[in-house]
Each structure stands twice: as structure tokens, then as C-alpha cells.
Amino acid sequence: MNYLANDGWVAFQTFNIILYNQEAVTGSL
């Protein structure tokens, strides 16, 4: 994995985590 691909993967995973956390918060209200 080169650095560009790795950065994209990290950004993708971070985005998924943010979306998951938002869903968890709104789902618990």
C-alpha cells in the first residue's frame, strides 16, 4: 500500500466511524 492509498483508507474509515456514531446517537434519542 502506498501513502496515497493509505491516506484514502484512513479517511474512508474515519468517515464510516463518524457516520456510525451519528446513527448511534440519533438512534438512541
Each domain of the chain, given as residue ranges in start order, spans 1-29
Instruction: With 0.75 as the threshold, say if the pTM is over it.
Output: no
- On average, the pLDDT of the chain sits at 84
Alpha carbon of residue 8 to chain centroid:
11
Looking at per-residue pLDDT, the higher value among 5 and 16 belongs to: 16
pLDDT of residue 27: 77
- String of b and e for 1-27 (b: at least 16 CB within 10 Å)? eeeeeeeeeeeeeeeeeeeeeeeeeee
